Amino acid sequence: MIAAALAIPTVGAALVWACRRRPNLREAMTLLSAAALFAAVLQLLPGVLAGERPELVVFDMLPGIALAFRVEPLGMLFALVASGLWIVNSVYSIGYMRGNEEQHQTRFYVCFALALASTMAVAFAANLATLFLAYEMLTLITYPLVTHHGTPEAVRAGRVYLGILLGTSIVMLLVAVGFTWVAAGTLELGGAPILAGKLEGGETALLLALYMFGTGKAALMPVHRWLPAAMVAPTPVSALLHAVAVVKAGVFVVVKVIVYVFGVEALAASGGGDWLPLAAGFTIIAASVVALRSDNLKRRLAYSTVSQLSYVVLAAALLTPLSVIGAALHIAAHAFGKITLFFAAGAIYTAAHKTEVSQLDGIGRRMPWTLGAFAIGALSMIGLPPAAGFVSKWFMLSGALQSEHWVAVAVIAASTLLNAGYFVPIVYRGFFRAPPAEAHPHGEAPWPMLAALGASAAATLAFFFLPELPLALARNLPAGPG
């Protein structure tokens, strides 16, 4: 099943290319591949919940370092979210790409499928060498998606995207992996923490910084600029970047490194991670302030993502069992809520050609389903019931209180108010302000986009009422006693 999870999207990409002259068949191949991948990932779930750790060794790259994959609870959660949302995003993409008469649609679907193959490789990587290779593959395969439109602005954004993500990973992340190999003699993930008891406090702090800032996809300031720059891409790509694959790969690596490389208890005892909650807290507040001041809807959502990603970093950095559970849960909760918000933004652009928040007066009266779904996604980002974000934020706040980290408590409280400050006015404008006079009033976006919107909004609500599965996986992480 591990091999199937890696092969299905890769074969799907080839089938999409083979059907490039028959759009209906091409898109059927995309949907079939997405459904097959989700089914393959689901086959792994019962064993992982029962304590099994399925493994696949492909070949030895170097003595003692294999290209290998192993399924543990955090990777299982990430793979479930990514593969499940690929189905929803594929349905949405069909409506969006056709509704906006986008060019290069075959290339779009091929790169999307290969991005999911890379994401599965990240999720199931058994060691840091495999993880690094899969992480780099994901960067390279998403570059054509970022530059999809081929405009000078898109090309510039692509340069920023590649420059920051490849620069940070090669200059810092690769060095950190090499240092770990020298210090511990192993890169294996999923067992006892690799570096527990092997480093002093100062060495730990330096190596942790290399990992955290070297994982540029986690968008910890100041290595966040690639993310808002990439918003020139079509909205389904923005949804891929923010919800399904790229940024989730970043925060997944952050949590995996803290849990399996340093170890929660060992890192807490060394004091080498004491700086990380402060860096994450600064990113949360600063990005929220930028979002509050942004009139462009996608830019506002982009900086919201920068802020929300650092919730995961902050929660993992608090180094308590409850906060680590919150970090794992927020990877999934943010995915459902943020993909809903981007789907709504794309639907508004497709149906009404509006891109600025100041243009959205009365939009909810003409697109009630779209703005209703947006409101659900906004509730989740703020962290209010009955939406997914409340569950993960509850564990984060509980972890902050458990550790008596009052700065983290203050950051969570202040950022919640800032989140409300930049999301609630959009909903208010859309439903409670009169729309401007228009010669040709519009309705909702094409039905595939509405269907995807409805599915992601429903999942955001379902996460609140039925959190048992993600909780079961998150509680299986080795986060120390308690």
Instruction: Give the torsion through C-alpha atoms of 317, 322, 325, 331, to 10 deg.
Output: -60
**C-alpha dist (Å) from residue 164 to 216, 288, 297, 310, 446:** 7, 21, 24, 18, 36
- Residue 467's pLDDT is what? 93
d(C-alpha 287, C-alpha 480), whole Å: 31
**% pLDDT > 90, the chain:** 72
Q: Please write the tens of the pLDDT for every residue from 144-167.
A: 988 888 889 889 989 999 999 999
Ramachandran angles phi, psi of 192, nearest 5°: -65, 145
CB 388 within 8 A of CB 380: yes
pLDDT given for residue 191 in this prediction: 80
Structure-block tokens of residue 289:
């302030």
Query: Element (H or E) spanning 313, and its range?
Result: helix 297-317
Q: What is the mean pLDDT of residues 356-376?
A: 93
Amino acid sitting at position 408: A
Asked whether 408 and 314 are in contact (CB, 8 A), the reply is yes
Q: Helices 128-146 & 174-184, crossing angle to 10 degrees?
A: 170
Write out pLDDT tens, residues 46-75.
Answer: 999 999 999 999 999 988 899 999 999 999
User: In this predicted model, what pLDDT tens digit does every residue of 402-421 receive, in sequence order?
Assistant: 889 999 999 999 999 999 99
Q: What is the pTM of this model?
A: 0.93
369-387 burial code (b ≥16 CB/10 A, e <16): bbbbbbbbbbbbbbbbeeb
pLDDT value at 211 more than 60 = yes
Scanning the structure block, which residue is given the tokens 């299986």?
476
pLDDT at 482: 42
**pLDDT over 70 for what percent of the chain?**
98
Element (H, E) at 367: none
First to last CA, the chain: 33
For the stretch 310-344, pLDDT in tens is: 999 999 999 999 999 999 999 999 999 999 999 99
Residue 82: pLDDT band (50, 70, 90) is very high
Residue 267: both structure tokens together: 């890192």
Kindly report, residue by residue over 267-280, the tens digit of the pLDDT: 988 889 999 999 99
User: CB of 231 within 8 A of CB of 299?
Assistant: yes
Which residues touch 395 (CB under 8 Å, ≥6 apart)? 315, 322, 323, 325, 326, 329
DSSP 124: H
pLDDT for 441 equals 65
> How do residues 86-109 score in pLDDT, each as one tens digit?
999 999 988 888 877 778 889 989
pLDDT beyond 60 at 481: no
Q: Quick one: DSSP state of residue 55?
A: E
User: How confident is the model over 385-399, as pLDDT tens digits?
Assistant: 999 999 999 999 999
Phi-psi map region of 56: left, alpha, beta (phi>0 left; psi -120 to 50 alpha): beta
Sorting pLDDT into bands at 50, 70 and 90, what band is 133? very high
* Amino acid code (one letter) for 228: P
- Alpha-carbon 62 to chain mean position: 31
Q: What is the pLDDT of residue 438?
A: 67
List the domain boundaries for the chain. 275-482
Confidence of residue 239 (pLDDT cuts 50, 70, 90): confident
Handedness of CA 204, 259, 7, 332 (dihedral sign): negative
Query: pLDDT at position 242, please?
Result: 66
Q: Tell whether the model's pLDDT for residue 440 goes beyond 50.
A: yes
Q: What's the whole-number average pLDDT of the chain?
A: 91
Give me the pLDDT at residue 245, please: 81
Q: Count CA within 13 A, CB hemisphere, residue 147.
A: 15
What is the DSSP-derived secondary structure letter of residue 444?
P
Cβ contact 320:403 at 8 Å: yes
pLDDT digits (tens, 9 = 90+) for 444-458: 888 888 999 999 999
